[in-house]
Chain A
């Protein structure tokens, strides 16, 4: 298949996901609201506790992690529920389907992550000391989350009790991403440490690996 065909197919899948999402706004609203409630709940739970950068970094990534686990696997699960999964198998190559959906998930989780970061900084009364590192941490962390959760959503799409299983399967794989995100954000919020950009590169490499091997693993199970 030529490169332009790949791009066309990936673009078609991405466009389809965006149109569906803008029509219903299910993913954005569900995970956005869940993330919002998480941040508000954390703020309420800690109202008499002095918040520091260490704590804020960990709590932020917990909120993003759970919001992404809730929303991202839906891209495949909804296909099976609506009966459009088989059509997608017939008309598109597995690699194109994976890339299209992973890119959509990336946009979705970036929107959620950036939105939550503003809310978090405001409610948690933390100061962003290194803005570049702060946003670098969010972008690379969200990219890793998108790749991992897209793959997990595909794995459980035709399993029993798949909506709950998607969360159970995704969460353990995302824990290592958390370590990068939390460490980088701690530095960005002024908790100390000098290797923030090294960790950003680590998260970036993790995302690259996921996007590189994800399509291949996905192709092995998609048409089963």
Chain B
């Protein structure tokens, strides 16, 4: 990552942009929405699996995907705003692409609000899984369809990659950064999953202890008493 970062500052300026020197933020901006959308779709799949099996491991996977997707979505917005300031002189352009991605961010922020509203774990998992499934449709519409509607005029370049305008060293650095950030997100995801599954296992062990009658609260402070009929 360090080498790719240093290399990104030494590649030739991107000639297709208004401010070629400062357009290097694109190297960081481009992978973020790709990873965010992939994680959102993964989260929807895990949510579907949870609703089919009611296995909370799937819920943990969905939560991990949502958290990482949200982080990468925020990074997308921040790098995009930086790009907007550099290219067009304003942090916020009322651009349809910017606005629609902000709506996606709001949709998935609501996921976490909903998650915090249910004290019961099973109900929380079921309702947030249902929301994640219901939200994936509008999210994909806002990301892929809305900015491309004929009546929508956007500053956001949409054909730079498709028309092969990223060539030479610039294209190589962008490709390397995509691969590296994908690996980074996969590593973070695996760490988060491991934490989530360990927490789930801890919760299950407490439930097993409670079921046997010797839960953590009763082990040190409160002792079981038995009432016998003998005097």
| Residues of B contacting A49 in the complex (Cβ-Cβ under 8 angstroms) | none
Residues 99-131 of B at the A interface (beta carbon under 8 Å): 103, 106-107, 109-110, 113-114, 117-119, 122-123, 126-127, 129-131
Chain A interface secondary structure, helix, strand, loop or mixed?
Answer: helix
Q: How far is the CA of A183 from the CA of B153 in the complex (A)?
A: 13
Which residue in B127, B134, B138, B150 is a CB contact (below 8 Å) of A195? B150
In this complex, the member of B110, B117, B142 whose beta carbon has the largest number of chain A beta carbons within 10 angstroms is: B117
| Total residues of chain A contacting the partner, CB 8 A | 31
Is the Cβ of B142 less than 8 Å from the Cβ of A220? no
**A220, B114: Cβ atoms under 8 Å?**
no
Is the beta-carbon distance between A156 and B138 smaller than 8 angstroms? no
Complex Cα–Cα for A179 and B141 (A): 11
Contact of A160 among B118, B142, B150 (CB under 8 A): B118
> In the bound complex, what is the Cα–Cα distance between A107 and B16 (angstroms)?
53
A217 interfacial contact with B, CB 8 Å: yes
Known: A183-B151, A209-B137, A217-B133. A159 touches B110 (CB 8 A): no
Contact status A175-B142, CB under 8 Å: yes
Q: Is the CB of A158 within 8 A of B123?
A: yes
Q: Tell whether, in the assembled complex, residue B127 and residue A155 are in contact, meaning their CB atoms are under 8 Å apart.
A: yes
Name the residue of chain A whose CB is nearest to the CB of B114.
A169
Q: How far apart are the CA atoms of A138 and B67 in the complex, in Å? A: 36
Cβ contacts under 8 Å, B75 to chain A: none
User: Nearest A residue to B50 by beta-carbon distance?
Assistant: A220
A-B contact pairs, 28 of them (CB 8 A): A152-B134, A155-B127, A155-B130, A155-B134, A158-B118, A158-B123, A160-B117, A161-B117, A165-B114, A168-B113, A169-B110, A172-B106, A172-B135, A173-B134, A173-B135, A175-B106, A175-B142, A176-B103, A179-B146, A195-B150, A195-B151, A206-B141, A217-B130, A217-B133, A220-B130, A221-B127, A224-B123, A224-B126
